[in-house]
Amino acid sequence: MRFFDAVIRYETRLWAFADLALKSSGSISLADLEGLRAVVAGGDRCRVHEVSRGLGITIGASSKLVDRLERSGLVVRSPNPDDGRSSYLSLTEEGERRRIEAEGIVSEALAAHLAWAGVDVAPLITGLEALHGSLASHERVGA
């Protein structure tokens, strides 16, 4: 449980730290930034389903997130010509501008935090990516 506690507590504090950096700069929330990043990662045929998968949240939560981003003028939906029940998502010009701005703010805040902490995160990143991949492949197998 020590590993679990360390990862979860750090993630919670890191999220709050990054979100505060964004709010202090008058930018979008970290949740909105993650939504915008998920749409970009989903590519040209990104749907709510891809956002859900990319963020590891439910379809319902993804739909609410995308609705909020659309209301804010950061994301636009266009009809899916192959399936009238779904639509493709893309960032508006404003959404792309805000994403880039917010990523810069978070990157600067993280660089400062890591400098203060004096920890080499490269091996941590490698290890966490391996652990994430292991869980993802385990989920696909259905075990």
pLDDT, mean of each 10-residue run, the chain (143 residues): 96 97 98 98 94 95 98 96 89 98 97 93 94 83 53
Query: Quick one: how far is CA 126 from the chain centroid?
Result: 19
β-pairing verdict for 75-79 and 87-91: antiparallel
Res 81: pLDDT: 87
Res 72: pLDDT: 97
Give which of 91, 59, 65 is closest to 77, Cα–Cα.
Answer: 91
3-state secondary structure of 80: coil
Res 140: pLDDT: 65
Q: Which residues contact 77 (CB under 8 A, 6 or more apart)?
A: 66, 70, 87, 88, 89
- Torsion angle of the four alpha carbons 47, 53, 51, 3, in this order, in degrees rounded to the nearest 10: 180
Note the pTM of the prediction, 2 decimals.
0.90
Res 86: pLDDT: 87
Going from N- to C-terminal start, the domains of the chain cover: 2-141
Res 143: pLDDT: 47
* CATH number given to 2-141: 1.10.10.10
Q: 24: part of which helix (H) or strand (E)?
A: helix 2-24
Res 137: pLDDT: 83
Q: 75: part of which helix (H) or strand (E)?
A: strand 75-79
Q: Which residues contact 30 (CB under 8 A, 6 or more apart)?
A: 15, 18, 19, 22, 102, 106
